[in-house]
Amino acid sequence: MTAPGAPPPDAPPLVARAARYAGLVGAVLLAVAGHLGGALPDAPLGATPESIWRAPGGPATLACWLVGSALLVGAWWSLRGGAPSTRWAYVTAGLWALPLLVAPPLGSRDVYSYACQGWTYAHGVDPYAVGVAAAGCPWLDAVAPIWRDTPAPYGPVFVLLAALAVSVGGGLTGTIVALRVIAVAGLLLGALSLPGLARAVGVPTRRAAWLALAGPLVGVHLVAGAHNDAVMLGLLLSGLLIVVRRPCRPWALLAAGVLLGLAVTVKASAVVVVPFAALAAVRGRPTVRSLVRDGGWLAGGSLAALLVSSAVSGLGFGWVGGLTHSGDSEQWTSPPTAVGLVVDYAGALVGRDPQAVPVFRTVALLLLVAVLMVLWWRAWAALRASSDPALARPRVALRGAGLALAATVVLSPVFHPWYATWPLALLALSAGRTKWFVLPAAAAVFLALPDGTNLARFTKAPGAVAMTALLLILLPTVLPPLLRRRQHRSR
């Protein structure tokens, strides 16, 4: 068994070559599926798998999507231990991205919401006060109905970027192209940061780059789908790189804090990384004094980014209220939502209406706060107990941040496939074993069809039961070993 942090065994050249070209064929098939039946502006909304199958070209669309996804997932999975070299990983990831770069939007219609929110702001309307329908966006028909009347849930920096895309692109097609360029720029920023982070942590860059950049979720949802998660991850990774390379340097930590703060003003979920970055900002064994001193510069930069971006945009903190609408949809892919749905179904059998979904979502959010505190405390204790805290600091901090993002994804009120890219990027840099987070990311690829149809909508009851059963199986299996390991470490 490969020890954590040790270089993974080299993949045989024949296996690596076969994986590269199988993945390329898969990416091409996904691009073909996008042209046949992707999330095009004039595609019919409210489609079902059956209606897609009956549409002209429907069987070909679904076949290309299924086979392409399987090839891409299989190729990525086959080299999860590490690509033959760092350069090989980057070249292959870029090769797979090329067909998807010229494909229509895939797997989601969110990019049209971005376009309308940018149009709303560019025309002098506050996107945090009204939905895009009330603002009069001319591309409203392309936006998913559930998001037409809700305020924007994204931070002011992304609203400014969306407005810039509208100004540069002009029409809808040009705006989508500009938004995709912005997403790719975020990915490139993250790709440039990965080698430095991998060296600081002591993991093979060829493994980290392969897991973080070549994953099918990245190509389908961050490149073709142009999701703003790409920008958030690029800012996060670049900020973390400065922290691990320049601890105890006030101006460097201030700059890193600005980048992390900008990530938060794209998507608020990035905020869970900041406390772990503060641990990485301390060079030696952390103390309360050193944490306040070095972490203070980091926190100051983040706060400055929040305040300045809110002031420059003229929108203030209205986007915080928009976050409450992100859970408007109820899907079994969110574990707390799935458990709440099962309780509601059970109540309906006896003539009751428990309204359990909001309750379980609230409990999950409270649990998330507790989990984040425990993860941070464990990272603090690990650095305090380490014989060489300077060497352990980057790995402990990045692993804690990755686990914090994983907990955020699992305990959030709603889950979309591209959310899995958040922890994937950081755990690729810090985790010794990879299967436990690579497998869910691979499975998430099959949750959405090329036109953005979410399969969770059509499997609500059986999906909720299956998710709840999975939790009941995993919790007794996973928790006792974790508790025993913790007691052993305490002794």
d(CA 30, CA 14): 24
Predicted local distance difference test score (pLDDT) of residue 4: 45
Q: How far apart are CA 54 and CA 70, in angstroms?
A: 23
- For 59-79, give one letter per residue: b (16+ CB within 10 A) or e: eebbebbeebbbbbbebbbeb
Q: Which two tokens stand for residue 129?
A: 């006060």
pLDDT at 476: 78
Report the predicted TM-score, pTM, of the whole model to 2 decimal places.
Answer: 0.93
pLDDT of residue 221: 97
Please, are residues 334 and 460 in contact by the beta-carbon 8 Å criterion? no
Q: What are phi and psi of 448, to 5 degrees?
A: -130, 145
- Give the model's pLDDT for residue 5: 45
- Compute the distance between CA of residue 159 and CA of residue 27 in angstroms, rounded to an integer: 30
- Residue closest to 4 by CA, chosen among 200, 208, 203: 203
Contact call for residues 240 and 192 (beta carbons, < 8 A): no
Tens digit of pLDDT at every position of the chain (491 positions): 444 444 455 667 888 999 999 999 999 999 999 999 999 998 887 777 888 888 888 899 999 999 999 999 999 999 999 999 999 999 999 999 999 999 999 999 999 999 999 999 999 999 999 999 999 999 999 999 888 998 999 999 999 999 999 999 999 999 999 999 999 999 999 999 999 999 999 999 999 999 999 999 999 999 999 999 999 999 999 999 999 999 999 999 999 999 999 999 999 999 999 999 999 999 888 899 999 999 999 999 999 999 999 999 998 888 877 777 666 678 899 999 999 999 999 999 988 888 999 999 999 999 999 999 999 999 999 999 988 888 899 999 999 999 999 999 999 999 999 999 999 999 999 988 888 899 999 999 999 999 999 898 889 999 999 999 999 988 877 666 655 655 555 55
Tokens 């928790």 -> residue? 479
Task: Name the helix (H) or strand (E) containing 11.
Answer: none
Which own/partner pairs from 359-365 qualify as long-range (CB within 8 Å, at least 24 positions apart)? 360/336, 361/327, 361/334, 361/336, 361/337, 361/413, 363/336, 364/335, 364/336, 364/411, 364/412, 364/413, 365/411, 365/413
Number of Cα atoms under 13 Å in the Cβ half of residue 439: 4
DSSP string, 383-440: HHH-S-HHHHHHHHHHHHHHHHHHHHHHHSS---GGGGHHHHHHHHHH-S--HHHHHH
Residue-wise pLDDT for 143-173, tens only, equals 998 889 989 999 999 999 999 999 999 999 9
